[in-house]
Structure 1
Amino acid sequence: MTSSTTDQSAKLVTLEEFVIEAQSRFPHATGEMTQLLMDITLGAKIIAREINRSVLKDINSAETITEPHSFKMARLEQFAKEQMFYALNRSNEVCMMVTDDLAEPERLNGGTGKYFVVLDPLDGTPNIAFNGAVATTFSIYQRRSDPSEPIDPAEALRAGSDQIVGGYVLYGSSIMLVFTAAGLGVTFFTMDPAIGEFCLSVPNVKVPRFKPMFSINTSFYELWPAAEQAFLDYLVSDKNMAGKAYSLRYGGSIVSDVHRILMEGGLFTYPANSLHPRGKLHLMYKCNPLAFIMEQAGGLATDGRQRLLDIKPVKVHHQSPVYMGSPDNMQEYSDFIESKNQAE
């Protein structure tokens, strides 16, 4: 390795520096967009601190030991929503926020501004009980109507392909920001607690083409359609592409499961079932940012029939089946289901 290569690899690049440098390649990387990303990451830093503090409170307080875990989760989810609300209100550029626990979109700054943000402030909160990963997901959209006028909440119902930025913050053994924009690729940033900054850790992430691994909640097996049951049976047989049973990795949080697949390859699925015939996972604030990232990393994301990012939601809490991952794993799923349908 040459000294110049060593110097380059040792250079610390912060999120703000990365976005400023990327402005020539990313037409939406204006000063307002840079500030908006900074605001979102500020909210994430405060959420991360509260997650850590909540664990310490549990250790040191006799009251919280006996408190139902659902109460702790509700408190953290409410705290996360409030912090994101405050963070997005810092500038005058965000006109509306859409989250998982609001029945309707919520206007910010009187409904004026260039952008609106769709997010899940805290996904996977049951994992906190055993120090598992939780996450914040977000999508940024540029509004089509006059930014000086109050936005119509119906404008939130946009296909995921309209996102200009999609991302998530993963709170685990380290705090990691993953985000993408069209043409910019997928980039990992890791929080350096010593300086309080997200620093570039993995540029230009590409999902491996194939890995004999899948992520699925098998507890719904008896409720799935017959073809989905048959596909799981196929994955754990010796008839699949690998000629041996695939590894199952399921962590109870779509973000952590998809993050693993981004790094290692594989397939994430959450089929429809008899309890959720239209699917269970929420399209706008869970699936769309992850689908955008997966596609920009070279993977695929569908509802089993069509591209997830092409679906126009009919309501804020639109739910969908989800299949995403490595291109060869996704092709294997499509081929298997097609052969089953033809056989019928």
Structure 2
Amino acid sequence: MYTLGEFIIDNKKYFSHSIESLLRLFSAIKLAAKAIHKEVNKAGLTKNIGSSGKTNIQGEKQQKLDFFAHNIFINSFRNRDVVCGIASEESKNFIILNKKECTSDNKYIVLIDPLDGSSNIDVNVPIGTIFSVYKYKKKYNNYHLTINDFLQKGYKQILAGYIIYGSSTILVYTTGNGVHGFTLDPSIGTFYLSHPNIVFPNENKIYSINDGNYVKFSNGIKKYIKYCHKEKKNGMPYTARYIGSLVGDFHRNMIKGGIYIYPNTSLYPMGKLRLLYECNPIAFITEQAGGKAIDGHKRILEIKPIDLHQRTPFICGPKNMVSKLEEFI
């Protein structure tokens, strides 16, 4: 079986940047993922479960494991000397990892949701990490990071992925040449290729949306939900599946075939999910798996960010399902 490192090396011709730096990026990601895997799997036995009593920049209750995961990733990337700056969903401002900042051509910008769905920790529901990587482009002789280095359009990502901590821990990523998944063997701490060349299946029957917000949806979304309830040619309506963890819902839908919908509502007119930390990386993966990702009107990867914590409506899944929803919108 391929290990993650072996797979990257054997497919180096498909990555236009430094393979050494890519391996160092993944070395940091793997180390942090294994530390979080270990902590998540014993969460009920430690003091790291439950709320920290604080709120993050999003105004959401911060779980103890949110803080743990945030720090683990910051330290892992800092020790690999390949990332010059990180923006995290748990931090108001971007973080410079070393005093020299970006001093070589192999430096990268990372945006990360350290622990997606963390409110589900207490009830043992799958949670995850979402990450997005951009190449830092130096400005003449100026190597100092600015906010604009982080506000790049999603199509400029060179690497995106997520780690899902569930019945097994799986790392899924794309560098723009397909989507591949690697499952952690915890007995030896190695990620092995388990899901090569993931694409949305042709048979798509799942829709994922929080129906509890139905009265707050636009008419187009309401009509689509009614369409999903109707009997189809095969005699069955679509099946509703919703966990409330983006990574968990998306991973299932990409493997089983389904659409994920988190539209704007009267309560969240600009949407609720974060463009940089959640939607851009998942949209990149979606497109590489043969799907489509939109905000309801335009391609997610074409949106120009104006704020680190910008929110957006988010719809992603197989092209045929997303296009059908667009008809109702």
Equivalent residue for 2:102? 112
Equivalent residue for 2:79? 90
1:1-344 equivalences under 5 Å are 12-57=1-46, 69-71=50-52, 74-110=63-99, 111-113=101-103, 114-146=107-139, 149-182=143-176, 184-238=177-231, 244-337=236-329
Q: Distance in 1 between matches of 2:30 and 2:281?
A: 16
The TM-score normalised by the length of structure 1 is: 0.88
Aligned residues: 316
Greater helix share, structure number: 1
CA shift, 1:244, in A, is 3.7
> What letter corresponds to residue 91 of structure 1 in structure 2?
R
Equivalent residue for 2:59? none
Q: Cα gap change, 1:54/1:329 in structure 2, threshold over 3 Å: closer, same or farther?
A: same
CA shift, 1:220, in A, is 0.9
CA contact (8 A) 2:264 2:271 kept: yes
The 3-state SS of whatever aligns with 1:194 is coil
> What letter corresponds to residue 271 of structure 1 in structure 2?
P
Q: Distance in 1 between matches of 2:233 and 2:172?
A: 30
The 3-state SS of whatever aligns with 1:277 is coil
Equivalent residue for 2:58? none
Stretches (4+) displaced over 4 A: 240-243
Q: Distance in 1 between matches of 2:147 and 2:92?
A: 11
The TM-score normalised by the length of structure 2 is: 0.91
CA contact (8 A) 2:221 2:328 kept: no
Equivalent residue for 2:57? none
Q: Distance in 1 between matches of 2:94 and 2:295?
A: 24
CA contact (8 A) 2:63 2:119 kept: no
Q: Unaligned regions of 5+ residues in structure 2, if any?
A: 54-61
The 3-state SS of whatever aligns with 1:268 is strand
CA contact (8 A) 1:216 1:269 kept: yes
CA displacement, residues 124-145 of structure 1 (integer Å, 9 cap, x when unaligned): 1122122110100001100111
> What letter corresponds to residue 160 of structure 1 in structure 2?
G
Q: Distance in 2 between matches of 1:206 and 1:236?
A: 25
Q: Distance in 1 between matches of 2:229 and 2:172?
A: 31
Q: Cα gap change, 1:242/1:106 in structure 2, threshold over 3 Å: closer, same or farther?
A: farther
CA contact (8 A) 1:118 1:284 kept: yes
Percent identical among aligned pairs is 37
CA contact (8 A) 1:14 1:197 kept: yes
Q: Distance in 2 between matches of 1:148 and 1:188?
A: 38
Q: Distance in 1 between matches of 2:18 and 2:126?
A: 30
CA contact (8 A) 1:209 1:329 kept: no
CA contact (8 A) 2:221 2:325 kept: no
CA contact (8 A) 2:24 2:82 kept: no
Structure number, greater radius of gyration: 1
Q: Distance in 1 between matches of 2:196 and 2:250?
A: 17
CA contact (8 A) 1:92 1:112 kept: no
Q: Unaligned regions of 5+ residues in structure 1, if any?
A: 1-11, 59-63, 338-344
Q: Distance in 2 between matches of 1:166 and 1:335?
A: 29
Q: Cα gap change, 1:15/1:29 in structure 2, threshold over 3 Å: closer, same or farther?
A: farther
CA displacement, residues 71-102 of structure 1 (integer Å, 9 cap, x when unaligned): 38621100100000000101222111011121
CA shift, 1:29, in A, is 4.7
The 3-state SS of whatever aligns with 1:109 is coil
CA displacement, residues 208-249 of structure 1 (integer Å, 9 cap, x when unaligned): 1341210001111111112211221221123x6766421000
